[in-house]
Amino acid sequence: MRGIIPLVAIACTLLAGSMVAGAIESSDFDDPAVCKGCHGEIYNQWNGSMHSIAYTDPVYLKEEEMASRETEGLTDTYCARCHTPVGVLAGEVPPIGHENLSEVSKKGIQCDFCHSVNKSTGIGNGAFMVSLDGIKRGPYDDSKSPYHGSMFSDFHTKSEFCGMCHEVYHPVTGIPIEETYTEWKEGPYSKTTQCQDCHMTPGVTHFEANPGKASGIGPERDHVYTHHFVGGNAVVTGVIGSEVHQRMAEERLKSAATLELEAEKKDNEAGITVKVTNIGAGHKLPTGLTEARELWIEIMATDATGKEIYHVGGLDSDGEVDTDAVMYRAVLGDAEGKPTVKVWEVESTLSDNRILPKEARVEKFNFAIPDKVKGPITVEAKLNYRSASQKFLDELFGEGAVVAPVIEMAGAEGTVELGKAPGEGVPGFEVLFVLISLLVVAYLVRRREK
């Protein structure tokens, strides 16, 4: 059946990354609360992050449930491998859901899992391998712990570590679904900047040293990697009540791009030129869950009285973005060539106009200037973002149950000067008529006096 992922293909895809040192049980991994004993600050940064809720994220759970239902369970381990790696490795998934899941498996991408990874089988679709030798791997070569062995791992400092999961492709067709790693690899930052340099430091869009201690009993270090793992998801972090991660996500979004605007009048039309530049992301804008993400330009023009005379890129009564808006996104296609947000149906990429790292896009808009409008005209441009369309959320949760907020990533403003209309600023015809009449009367009076 087209559009349904064959079980054998999934099994072969996952098998390469499933080999481990011995049989695995979820009890082989420590709960993050154990790690908190020595790494309290790092634990607090991780707790509430998208990594910590990778398998309790309500949007993910709803989409996983739909995928499992429509593929008769064939996608269960395919998706869960990067959302509950311990659960998959321990054989607790399938089935999906929390009924058979141990507490440690519910903790998503957690401390002991990441620091037990010893190598990968490649990039994408959860290509990780783990070692249960009790040695925790990380970025320091002098770490000592009374609880576990420690080992330096250069792999943990490289983007390839992140690329094991932040790269997703269809296991049968090979169609890219998420290409965050490849976008970085093929971009201008790959020679100088790793994923960790932006997403595991205090710097919003660049590396910034974070001096301190990785452990309460450890030495002072010039830099300690932070574990907030901040991306662009300000919605789910807000839903679960993590205000810190929500605020940081919004800050990151608002630092990723700039917007410039030029406005001019030509004849009876206003011409608007908008320039969008990806200044802060080492990957495309947007990235990640590309079938759902929305990034678009909204333009609004008002006259001197505040009356709206032009608007494109707003939301309609159903919460959907105006179809005339300039939208940056990847559109995936199903077996019939129709757009789909169901990744298990994907058989093609229909279009992808997302903004590359350091790339600038110039977009033009124009509208007719109404008669008798009072100038000047104020033009406001916004670069808007939301994690998913309302239609997508309605299909998952029911109509209006969940609403993704629109976040303004960047904005700019300009004016269109209308100039003076013919005769504006000089006496009107009525006044001229009166003046001429008075002159004529004065002339006639003077003639009679002669």
Q: Is the dihedral of CA 83, 85, 87, 93 positive or negative?
A: positive
Instruction: Return the higher-pLDDT residue of 10 and 353.
Output: 353
User: Count of alpha carbons within 13 Å of 31, Cβ hemisphere only?
Assistant: 6
Q: Based on the fold, state whether residues 187 and 322 are members of the same structural domain.
A: no
Q: What is the mean pLDDT of residues 297-306?
A: 96
pLDDT of residue 242: 87
- Residue 221 β-bridge partners: 212
Residue for token pair 């996500």: 249
pLDDT at 426 over 60: no
pLDDT at 43 over 60: yes
440 assigned to some structural domain: no
Number of domains in the chain: 2
434 assigned to some structural domain: no
Instruction: Return the higher-pLDDT residue of 435 and 116.
Output: 116
Report pTM.
0.88
Q: Based on the fold, state whether residues 244 and 265 are members of the same structural domain.
A: no
Q: Based on the fold, state whether residues 273 and 318 are members of the same structural domain.
A: yes
Q: Is the dihedral of CA 47, 48, 51, 53 positive or negative?
A: positive
pLDDT level of residue 437 (50, 70, 90 thresholds): low
pLDDT at 379 over 60: yes
Q: Please say whether the beta carbons of 320 and 327 come within 8 A.
A: no
pLDDT of residue 234: 84
pLDDT of residue 18: 46
Residue range 184-241, pLDDT digits in tens: 999 999 999 999 999 999 998 899 999 999 999 999 999 999 999 999 988 888 778 7
Q: Based on the fold, state whether residues 238 and 269 are members of the same structural domain.
A: no
Residue range 154-171, pLDDT digits in tens: 999 999 999 999 999 998
Q: Based on the fold, state whether residues 173 and 308 are members of the same structural domain.
A: no
By CB neighbour count within 10 A (0-12 exposed, 13-18 middle, 19+ buried), where does 404 fall?
A: buried
Domain edge (last residue) among 186, 221, 248: 248
The phi-psi region of residue 134 (left if phi > 0; otherwise alpha if psi is between -120 and 50; otherwise beta) is left
β strands within 82-234, DSSP E: 117-120, 128-130, 135-138, 149-152, 168-169, 176-178
Q: Based on the fold, state whether residues 276 and 316 are members of the same structural domain.
A: yes
Q: What is the mean pLDDT of residues 42-49?
A: 97
431 assigned to some structural domain: no
Collapse the DSSP code of 86 into the 3-class scheme (helix H, G, I; strand E, B; otherwise coil) and give the result.
Answer: helix
pLDDT of residue 439: 58
Q: Please say whether the beta carbons of 136 and 125 come within 8 A.
A: no
Q: Based on the fold, state whether residues 242 and 118 are members of the same structural domain.
A: yes
Q: Based on the fold, state whether residues 353 and 220 are members of the same structural domain.
A: no
pLDDT of residue 100: 87
56 assigned to some structural domain: yes
Q: Based on the fold, state whether residues 19 and 114 are members of the same structural domain.
A: yes
Instruction: Return the higher-pLDDT residue of 404 and 89.
Output: 89
| Radius of gyration, alpha carbons of the chain | 30
- Please spell the DSSP secondary structure of 361-417, one letter per residue: EEEEEEEEPPTTPPSPEEEEEEEEEESS-HHHHHHHH-TTT--PPPEEEEEEEEEE-
pLDDT of residue 421: 45
pLDDT of residue 145: 95
Q: Based on the fold, state whether residues 348 and 212 are members of the same structural domain.
A: no
Least confident of 109-113, 351-355, 438-442: 438-442
Range of the domain at 402: 256-416
pLDDT of residue 103: 96
Q: Based on the fold, state whether residues 63 and 208 are members of the same structural domain.
A: yes
Report d(CA 144, CA 147) in Å as an integer: 9
pLDDT level of residue 447 (50, 70, 90 thresholds): low
Collapse the DSSP code of 30 into the 3-class scheme (helix H, G, I; strand E, B; otherwise coil) and give the result.
Answer: coil
Domain edge (last residue) among 248, 273, 291: 248
Q: Based on the fold, state whether residues 214 and 342 are members of the same structural domain.
A: no
pLDDT of residue 12: 41
441 assigned to some structural domain: no
pLDDT of residue 239: 78
